Amino acid sequence: MTGLFDTDVIAALARGGAETQRRILERWPDRIADEMADGFTRRHPDMAAKSGFARWQLVALTVVVVGVLTGVVLVPLPTLALLTSVVTGYSLLHGVVALNGLLAGRRHGGLADPPVPEADLPSYTVLVPAYQEAGVIGGLVRHLAALDYPSDRLEVLILVERHDPDTTRAVLAADPPPFVRVVQLPPGPPQTKPRSVNLGLMLARGELLVIFDAEDRPDPAQLRHVAARFAARGRQLACVQARLLFRNPADNWLTKQFAMEYALRFGISLPGLARLRLPIPLGGTSNHFRTDTLRDLGGWDAWNVTEDADLGMRCAALGYRTETIETITWEEALDTIGPFVRQRTRWFKGFLMTTAVHTRNPRHTLRRFQASGILVLLGIVAAGPVTALVQPLITALTVAAVFDRSWSSAGSALMLPVLAAQAGSAALWIAITFAAARRARLAAPWHAVFVPLYALLWSVAAWRAVHQLAVAPFTWEKTPHANDRAAGSHEQDLRCEPGSRMTLL
């Protein structure tokens, strides 16, 4: 696969020092902005979100929608049974993956890799895409200053928009160490996280590279643990995904549910996929890469609103491996419904977009993913938003059927298994969520019983996602973060040396 760097100007960014990079950014901002946004699409249109849907995909989608609506009107009970079987299959697949995650335990995702000697630790680039993050970015800067990693092999690039001076001022006010630089992005569309980190990849001089979000608080030893994992594995290991947990799960009911969902995904489901040697749809932060491999992969697709999941599937499609590791990054759970639904809308829209990208050419899909990868692409990435979409329809059909007194004997025979399957699916989700919450040592894991209620928010987000996919596919709804309320409790032992200086690009 052709790499990200094909032009002299772009290649010079990676070779140059900070001052050289600054001059190149000032002299050729339009050229670099174009590369950030559209370089991947030009070189790999078959894997690019901007290329849109294939004609056959639109035809197939139309057939499915018309078929379901016709079935609802003409044969509601068989349609209900069919939709219930789809949701049940999705639940069973997640149950198998979760079971493997539980069996994997710390043996497969732990921190038992032999440590890399101090003198042999690789250089590391940390990318922090930050937009309107003045309230939280200072806490991350102080946290990164205290990372347990040699400062002479560490560079931190904080990527900010030129029209966001508040975030830049907040970084400077945090008294960052010299290895931290603020990089101001050349203006241009789309204003997305993947466009931002594409510039970071152009500038990166580290052998390894990781992304942290502005509200993140990674384990101070995380870089050492991941460096040990890469050293212990072969070159086919392209990415190591750290575990994400929330530092504010007790704020309210929503944060409790969100925290349990993250405990399930990052503590059990992704390790289960890794144990089964299946593709891993990455989380948007704390994924660590070999920098040269990431460039060979083409970087990020600036127009895909779940660039993380897309890149995880692309790693698998091109023969690379992803693993998980137990080291934790603490994040902030959204505590109000509106921002939560908007964030989940973007996720679901991106999952559907990623599925469309990687199934655009069925022959290529079969060759790249084989059966196991297609199972993840369709059974997990696509099935998440699809099951959230059909759940309100299933509920409505079920209620109508239960109160329908004109059942035939055939209808009764069909309805009882449907109700049993629905109850079994709900019980399975509650059980694996409870197990994940217990493993993560979250308080009140019994709140897992509210997962079906929490799932109603997924359905709202899924329908918003479909609407946006039709009218505004590349819109990125920014996730807001509160002020750094947890700074005192989680960073009270972190201190920065006064008088440090930094570079502003």
Q: Considering only CA atoms, which of 252, 262, 175, 304 is closest in space to residue 482? A: 252
Helix axes 29-43, 8-15, angle to 10 degrees: 110
Pair of tokens at residue 169: 């001022």
Average pLDDT in the 284-313 region? 95
DSSP secondary structure letter of residue 153: G
CA distance 405 to 239: 56
pLDDT band (50, 70, 90) for residue 434: very high
> For residue 271, is the peptide bond before it cis, meaning its omega torsion is within 30 degrees of 0?
no
Chain Cα centroid distance, residue 32: 25
Sign of the torsion angle spanned by Cα atoms 189, 345, 483, 157: negative
pTM for the structure as a whole = 0.90
pLDDT, tens only, 200-221: 999 999 999 999 999 999 999 9
DSSP 200-229: HHHH---SEEEE--TT-EE-TTHHHHHHHH
> Residue 259 is part of a domain; what is its CATH number?
3.90.550.10
Binned at pLDDT 50, 70 and 90, residue 159 comes out as: very high
Distance CA 124, CA 148 (A): 12
Q: How much of the chain is helix, strand and coil, in % rounded to 5?
A: 60, 10, 30
Q: How many domains is the chain partitioned into structurally?
A: 1
Judged by average pLDDT, the poorest of 363-372, 398-407, 427-436, 455-464 is 398-407
Express as a percent the part of the chain with pLDDT over 70: 90
* Cβ atoms of 213 and 285 closer than 8 Å: yes
Q: What is the distance between the alpha carbons of residues 112 and 102, in angstroms, rounded to a whole number?
A: 18
Q: Check residues 497 and 387 and name the one with the higher pLDDT.
A: 387
Whether 354 shows a pLDDT value over 50: the answer reads yes
pLDDT of 17 over the 90 cut: no
pLDDT at site 15: 77
Average pLDDT over residues 228-249: 95
Q: Give me 284's structure tokens.
A: 């948007």
The pLDDT of residue 107: 55
For residues 298-304, give the mean pLDDT: 96
Contacts for 226-230 with beta carbons within 8 Å, 24 or more apart?
226/288, 226/325, 226/327, 227/116, 227/121, 227/122, 227/124, 228/111, 228/113, 228/114, 228/115, 228/116, 229/113, 229/323, 229/325, 230/122, 230/288, 230/290
* DSSP annotation of 335: -
Q: Which residue has the higher pLDDT, 430 or 28?
A: 430
Mean pLDDT, all residues of the chain:
90
Please tell me the predicted confidence (pLDDT) of residue 218: 96
pLDDT band for position 486 (cuts 50, 70, 90): very low
Q: Over the stretch 4-16, which tens digit does the pLDDT of each residue have?
A: 444 567 777 777 7
pLDDT at 195 over 60: yes
Closest residue by Cα to residue 44 from 357, 428, 448: 357
- Band (503; pLDDT cuts 50, 70, 90): very low
pLDDT of residue 158: 97
- Reported confidence tier of residue 108, pLDDT bands at 50, 70, 90: very low
Q: In this predicted structure, what is the pLDDT of residue 293?
A: 96
Residue 285 Rama label (left phi>0; alpha psi -120 to 50; beta): beta
Q: How many residues does the chain have?
A: 505
pLDDT digits (tens, 9 = 90+) for 487-500: 333 333 333 333 33
Identify the domain containing residue 12 by its residue range.
1-505
